[in-house]
Structure 1
Amino acid sequence: MPTQAILVENLTKSYGKFRAVNGLSFEVQRGEVFGFLGPNGAGKTTTILSMLGIIIPDTGRVEILGMDMSRNPIGVKERIGYLPENATIYGELTAWKNLEFFANFYRMSNAEKEKRITELLKMVGLWEVRYRKAKTFSKGMKQRLLIAQTFINDPELLILDEPTSGLDPEGAHLVKRLIREAKAEGRTVFFSSHVLSEVEELSDRVGIIVKGKLKAVGTLGEIKRQFMELEGYEIKVETKEPLPEIEHSEITRVEPVGPNRAIIFARTDIREDLSKYLSEKGLTILKLDVEEPSLEDVFLRTIYGRDGE
């Protein structure tokens, strides 16, 4: 069995002269939560729709759960759950009937359908309103019903496009809980989001797409280290005694913060050299830490450049 739940190789898709996805390649491992980040128009939705076989890429290959999407789209779709960003429900149908409608697409007995629908409505907190028409639901309740629909076939892989969009804090908390539970059950979760804190909180690995190209991929720690290696290190130093003038070939600038504190910007991590230098000067080191960038720092500078403009 392949270790990847998703394998995307050299994916390209153009609309006229506009190239929405440009030579995109990445993998998502089985059992992990993968966060997919990018600004509007970056190619996130085009990538997702290509993964689902809803649109046909110009070049490239997509493999889902070991199956080639172009050769076995039905087999793939039987094993995945998909939540579009702007999904709709049938307003004239009750919550129960909405789920029953989608359950009919899968090979489930009536007893299995009843058991599954009951579990899902309770899971998303809609059991008490199961016989109400969906058109009477609030936006948050509709999103909960859509999330239940995504789980109807007990999928191995969840593909969620902006799953907390439009939800109140309680609804967003529910979605995050369900993502964690899905991982704990051994499912794979691929989700796109513009809420950086969600991606940071939930993801095992992250991919950042900009103008159709994957600019960074890896764990948050790996991406932050890649960013620091490219952008430089911000080192905070504090001593008991006043700091002397600090010089090093890797230092780009020093910003004093009082007589015994400074922020040192360097091309590489020079803490070992700094520690030796300050100790030789007879100084007591109180702090010598690298200021790790936030995901927001990485995201904004990846998209907009050094100054975030």
Structure 2
Amino acid sequence: MSSQAILIENLTKSYGTFRAVDGLTFDVKVGEVFGFLGPNGAGKTTTILSMLGIIIPDDGRIEILGMDMSREPIKIKERIGYLPENATIYGELTAWKNLEFFANFYRMSNSEREKRITELLKRVGLWDARYRKAKTFSKGMKQRLLLAQALINDPELLILDEPTSGLDPEGAHLVKEVIREAKAEGRTVFFSSHILSEVEELSDRVGIIVRGRLKAVGPIREIKRQFMELEGYEIKVETKEPIPELRHEEITRVERLAPNRIILFARSDIREWLSQYLTSKGVTILSLEVEEPSLEDVFMKTIYGRDEE
């Protein structure tokens, strides 16, 4: 069995003169949660729809769960679950009937179908509303039902496009719990979101796409490390005694907050030198730490700071 749930190589798609996706290459490992980031118009939706076989790319290869999307789309779709950003449900049907309708697309016995629907409605907190028409549901309840719908076929790969968009904190918490549970069950989760703190909280790895091209991919900590190597380090220092003047070729700026507290900006991580230097001057160090950038810092700089590279 392949160690990759998703493999995309040189994916390209144009609409007239506009190139929505431009030579995109990345992979998603089996059993991981992968966060897919990018501004509006970056190519996220085109990529996702290509992965689902809904859009036919101009060039490139897409492999899902070890199968080529261009050759075995039906087999692939039987093994994945998908929640679109603007999904709709059948308002005149009850929650139960909605799930029953979609379950009929898959090979399930009557008993398997009933058991699966029961499990999912309880899991997403809609069991007590199972006989209510979906048109009476709040947005959060509808999103829960759609999430259950995406899980109806017990998928190996779950693809979620903005799954918490517009939800209240309780609904967003439930979606995040379902993602965590899916990972614990050995499923692979690929999701896009504009809520960067959510992506940082849930993802094993992330990919950042800008203007159809992949600008960064990997574990969040590694992406942050690469970001700091490019943009510089912000080091906070607090001591017992006043901090003497610091001179080092890597230092670009020093902000003095108090005689014994500074923020130092450097081209590299010079904490070892700082520690040795201050100690040699008889200065007692209380704290010496690198201020790690947030995923939002990295995201914004990637989009607006280096997107022409």
Q: TM-score scaled by structure 2?
A: 0.97
Partner of 1:124: 124
- Separation (CA, whole Å) in 2 of partners of 1:172 and 1:230: 34
Partners of 1:107 and 1:287 in 2: CA distance: 61
Hey, what's the Cα distance between the residues in 2 that align with 1:18 and 1:108?
43
Quick one: distance in 2 between partners of 1:138 and 1:196? 25
Q: What's 2:66 paired with? A: 66
Distance, in Å, in 1 between the alignment partners of 2:200 and 2:249 is: 34
What are the residue-to-residue correspondences of 1:138-287 with 2, within 5 Å?
138-287=138-287
Query: Could you tell me how far 1:176 is from its partner in structure 2?
Result: 0.6
How far apart, CA to CA, are the structure 2 residues paired with 1:123 and 1:243? 56
What is the rounded CA distance, in whole Å, between the counterparts of 1:236 and 1:135 in structure 2? Answer: 54
SS of 2:54's partner is coil
Given residue 235 of structure 1, which amino acid in structure 2 is its aligned partner? I
Shift of 1:272: 1.0
Q: Deviations over 1:175-233 (max 9, x none)?
A: 01111000000000000000111111111111111111111111111011010011010
1:207 & 1:260 partners in 2: Cα distance? 40
Task: Name the CA distance, whole Å, in 2 between partners of 1:260 and 1:119.
Answer: 59
Deviation readout 1:63-97 (Å, 9 max, x if unpaired): 00000011100000000000000001111111111
Residues 240-261 of structure 1 show CA distances to partners (whole Å, capped at 9, x for unaligned) of: 2211111111111111111122
- Secondary structure class of the residue paired with 1:147: helix
5 Å-filtered alignment, 1:27-42, equals 27-42=27-42
Q: For 1:257 and 1:96, how far apart are their aligned partners in 2? A: 61
SS in 2 for 1:54: coil
Task: Give the SS at the match of 1:88.
Answer: coil
Structure-2 residue corresponding to 1:3: 3
Following superposition, which runs of at least 4 residues in structure 1 exceed 2 angstroms of deviation?
Answer: none
> Is 258-267 or 154-163 further displaced after alignment?
258-267
> C-alpha root-mean-square deviation of aligned residues, in Å?
1.1
AA aligned to 2:260 is: N
Amino acid across the alignment from 2:187: R
SS in 1 for 2:258: coil
Question: Structure 2: how far apart are the matches of 1:65 and 1:75?
Answer: 10
Q: Cα distance, 1:9 vs. partner?
A: 0.7
After TM superposition, the score normalised by the length of structure 1 is 0.97
**Displacement of 1:119 after TM fit?**
1.0
Note the C-alpha offset of 1:110: 1.1
Amino acid at match of 1:86: N
**Identical aligned pairs, as a percentage?**
84
Distance 1:136 1:240 in 2: 63
Q: How many residues align?
A: 306
What is the SS of the residue equivalent to 2:48?
A: helix
Where in structure 1 are there 5+ consecutive unaligned residues? none
Aligned residue for 2:119, secondary structure, equals: helix
